[in-house]
Chains A and B, each alone.
Chain A
Amino acid sequence: MNQTLTNPNIAIDRSLGDFSYPMDYAYDAGVGLTEATVDYIANVKNDPDWVRAFRKDGYKKFLDKPMPTHWASKDLENIIFEKIRYYLAQSQQAKRTWDEVPEDIKRTFERLGIPEQERKFLAGVEAQFDSEAAYSNIKSAVGDQGVIFVGSTEGLHKHPEIFRKWFGKVIPSGDNKFSALNSAVFSGGSFIYVPPGVKVKHPLQAYFRINAESFGQFERTLIIADEGSEITYMEGCTAPKFETATLHSAVVELVALKGAKIQYITVQNWSPNVFNLVTKRGLAHEEAEVKWIDCNIGSRLTMKYPGVVMKGRKARGEVISIALAGDGQHQDTGAKMVHAADETTSNIVSKSISLGTGRATYRGLVHMPKHLKGCKNNTECDALLINSKSRTDTYPAITVRGQGNSCQHEASVSQISEEQIFYMQQRGLSEAAAMSLAVNGFVNDLVQQFPMEYSVELKRLIDLEMEGSVG
């Protein structure tokens, strides 16, 4: 275990991800988005007719929907859809063994430690390079239990009976402009099905990598946990620093059937030129539990509000969120909790740190429609401001109908107390070290909910970000 802890290959240090290789792509949809682009992707991927129709419908909705700038950041206007490349791939088939992966892609992932991690403890891993999965493997022990872990394309071709039933049902194409865009041009992402009663001991992991400049990554993930099953999924992401803006717009749908548990962990460390506009939502049936653990450190602008629709009695939703907004970054994150059945409970804990000119925003929605009994929500948002130019905002919206439910929201904004810093300096720590320690202390209770490897790296990353931020 100790060895895993100190394994530098799992590092999510930004400098590790800041490299790219020139690639020859076998499939390239070119620059800009038209109906022909959508057709190109459908042709290349050999989509069944219903998927093609789904894409066309998404494209139409994308055009119809306005940018949500009446409430969201005006920075969205800097996304130039005509200049983005929507599909780039080397191959249509993900490689099953590491040796089959082309040398240059292999180099990328080896630098990021992907196969290393798999050997260590993962039950399965999938690595996406630009539009398509470059490598996908699942441990035979897990595969034998009937767990399906494949790319979304393979999922819709080989398991249409499960895939089609839930695809686009948790997040309809028209949910927002970016989910519509994803519906039009999606490629890559994971499809996971866990059979009834199967408890996957180790986490499944996906790794997303943007390699090309001005590229848009639009992966689509669908996870279905059948009755009484349990699954943990982790995703990580990096991209090199390019001069031009890059767009990442994923859609992630989770379905937890009766009594199932899904835990979805994200550590987002995109480079600071990436617009990260992601729609994530889970559907929790009776006594099921969906938990999002979300950590946002990278990107230029992130807008992400993982949600849970609690559809069955006693369902539970949870969002644990950490956001670190450094110089020039805007982390606009939060949570959505829709209580649609009696005795459903939800919990949101969000902690954000703004440093330099960074801006952290919490945006939340809690909805309890009428005629429900015994629903409970608890929301806590804490923000830490490091510098005088840092900014933090909180915008929750809470609707409660009828009696018999309870809802509480609390938020606070604070600084690191000078006394704390003084105390630590007195004991020989430098001001920067004392600051790091205080920030780590602020997020400590949440960091502990992350798997060990991630929590260790998160602490390291916070130390790194804090360097030079004092004074």
Chain B
Amino acid sequence: MSVLEALEQSNKVAEPESAWPTWFSEIQKLAAEDFEATPAPTRRDEPWRFSNLKAIDLTGFVPAGPVSSEGRIINASQSLPAFAAKMVFGNNALLVQETPALPEGVLFKPLEVAAREHESMFREFFMAQPVELGSHKYAALHRANLQTGAFLYVPANVEVALPIEIFHWVEGENASIYPHTLIICGENSKVTVIDSFRSADKKRAFACGVNDLHLSPGAKLNYIAIQEWSDETLAFHINSTLVNKNSECTALAANFGGQFIRGESLSRMIGEGSRSEMLSLNPLDGKRQIDQRTLQDHAAPSASSDLLYLNALDDETRSIFAGLIKVEIGAHGTDAYQKVRNLMLSDTAEANSMPGLEILADGVRCTHGATAGEINEEELFYLEARGISKTSGRRLIVNGFFQTLLQRFKDEALREHLSKMVAAKLGLPF
């Protein structure tokens, strides 16, 4: 039984109250056909250059059943001390929703409810951007098997002071989940969302997630994705971000877990003066592989984008980064920056970087840089001379490497939370 067939069966036994509107099943049927009709990636496909095609074999994965440790999962779904609202999903089902400090007018609902109650908005923004960075097939799989997810709409001129938290859990051997987050920010609205991806056990799992961020003119969004899948998990994280006039998005993907992670991130600047900041921090250990593809698409003049991806590669890890800055015809006055840094911590680690530029307009300033290097021996010596062991010294230096990125977050509670997670990952006291 293929993943798809198995999932179709599980769909049939889904709870009736979570049912989607009937028109959505037609969308899912077409998506299933799209998935079957789209060929699997091959070595000759440029968006899969340097990738590990063996790692994306879906054989053996089965639909996720209901979670067995619901209480434990809900209890463990904590990150920041104070939050505006929270949703916890486990194995494609909503487990709990809390809204302690959600301003009036903000819609924070499961996707299927939003599809019923806000059909026109849902249809306009749900997976509206074409998936161009190589994973069209897996985006179709996601669409075909989607069962629930988070829908957030912040109306115009509303500021959500505290962060909104979303948790997606997977549990069980070879379980497959399809996490989805759709965020629509109205004009001049402001919100921070923390999207957490976690495994309830150490088992092999498959996660195929999509998050779409839409910013109306003047909106400000911080989107933090914290990925902590088990070491055996295969995951796709497909993102699209659309920034309108004078809107600003800062998106961070922090990857702490997973076996093979394919991340695709598209930022499209469609309004003058818009800005997208694309950040990623990846402390890699064990046999982890991370394959990230990005596109900074400047479709409007005088917009800016800034990408910074940091990889620290220990043990037998491998990183692939392929990023493209594309300045379309007429997007004059573009200011785009792209930087990927690889810190090599082991002789068996490997870093592949493909930073690209395609410029079809003039009056632009575009720069990119890619580096790969090791820990500076002098820095290590300095620490050793002060009584810090080589192991601790290395960890401190790696921590400092990631701090350069975390400094960009002005919200202290958020920065502290992320710093703590990085320190914990590196085995440092905080």
Contact = CB atoms under 8 A, between A and B. Distances in A.
Interface of A: 70-71, 370-371, 383, 385-388, 390-415
B44 to A, nearest CB: 6
Contacts of B117: none
26 contacts: A71-B46, A385-B359, A385-B362, A387-B362, A388-B362, A390-B362, A393-B356, A393-B358, A393-B359, A395-B356, A396-B370, A397-B49, A398-B372, A399-B50, A402-B346, A402-B348, A403-B344, A406-B371, A408-B369, A408-B371, A410-B368, A411-B367, A411-B368, A412-B366, A413-B365, A415-B364
A400 B364 CA distance: 31
Interface string B404-419: 0000000000000000
Given A388-B362, A407-B373, A393 B354 contact: no
Interface in B24-61: 44-46, 49-50
Interface string B342-355: 10111111111111
Nearest to B342: A400
B166 to A, nearest CB: 35
A82 to B, nearest CB: 26
Given A403-B346, A415-B363, A408 B370 contact: yes
Contacts of B367: 410-413
Nearest to B356: A395
B374 A398 contact: no
Contacts, number: 129
Contacts of A413: 357, 359, 364-367
Interface of B: 44-46, 49-50, 332, 342, 344-375
B344 A391 contact: no
B354 A397 contact: yes
A231 to B, nearest CB: 33
B297 to A, nearest CB: 14
B315 to A, nearest CB: 12
A21 B344 CA distance: 60
Nearest to A393: B358
A399 B351 contact: yes
A195 B352 CA distance: 40
Nearest to B358: A393
B344 A405 contact: yes
Contacts of B355: 394, 396, 409, 411
A342 to B, nearest CB: 13
Given A399-B50, A413-B364, A392 B359 contact: yes
A399 B356 contact: no
Contacts of A395: 354, 356
A80 B29 CA distance: 44
B370 A398 contact: yes
Nearest to A394: B357
Contacts of A391: 358-360
B46 A70 contact: yes
B350 A370 contact: yes
B350 A400 contact: yes
A252 B368 CA distance: 32
Nearest to A66: B44
B356 A394 contact: yes
A397 B346 contact: no
Nearest to B352: A399
B372 A405 contact: yes
Contacts of B49: 397
Contacts of B375: 403
A445 to B, nearest CB: 19
Contacts of A388: 332, 361-363
Contacts of B372: 398, 400, 405-408
Contacts of A410: 367-369
A402 B365 CA distance: 33
Interface-central residue, A392, A396, A401, A406, by most chain B CB under 10 Å: A401
B371 A409 contact: yes
Contacts of A70: 44-46
Interface-central residue, B355, B371, B372, by most chain A CB under 10 Å: B372
Contacts of B346: 402-403
Contacts of A408: 369-373
Contacts of B371: 406-409
Interface-central residue, A370, A403, A404, by most chain B CB under 10 Å: A403
A327 to B, nearest CB: 15
A397 B368 contact: no
A413 B365 CA distance: 6
A174 to B, nearest CB: 16
Interface-central residue, B344, B362, B365, by most chain A CB under 10 Å: B362
Contacts of B360: 391
Nearest to A413: B366
B71 to A, nearest CB: 45
Contacts of A398: 351-354, 370, 372
A189 B352 CA distance: 37
Given A409-B371, A413-B364, 19 more contacts: A370-B347, A388-B332, A391-B360, A392-B359, A393-B357, A393-B359, A395-B354, A395-B356, A398-B353, A398-B370, A400-B350, A402-B350, A403-B374, A404-B374, A408-B370, A408-B373, A409-B355, A410-B367, A412-B365
* Complex A-B, nearest 3 residue pairs according to Cβ-Cβ distance, in ascending order: A403-B374, A400-B372, A402-B347
A396 B46 contact: no
A396 B49 CA distance: 12
Contacts of B357: 383, 392-394, 411, 413
Contacts of B350: 370, 399-402
A405 B342 CA distance: 11
A407 B373 CA distance: 6
A237 B365 CA distance: 35
A319 B356 CA distance: 19
B116 to A, nearest CB: 43
Contacts of B366: 412-413
B330 to A, nearest CB: 8
Nearest to B351: A400
Nearest to A369: B350
A396 B354 contact: yes
A334 to B, nearest CB: 12
Contacts of A383: 357, 359
Nearest to B332: A388
B352 A397 contact: yes
Nearest to A382: B367
A96 to B, nearest CB: 49
Contacts of B364: 385, 413-415
Contact of B369 (A386, A397, A409, A414): A409
A391 B328 CA distance: 10
Contacts of A411: 355, 357, 367-369
B347 to A, nearest CB: 4
Nearest to A409: B370
A14 B367 CA distance: 33
Contacts of B359: 383, 385, 391-393, 413
A190 B372 CA distance: 39
Nearest to A387: B362
A394 B367 CA distance: 10
Contacts of B342: 400
Contacts of B351: 398-401
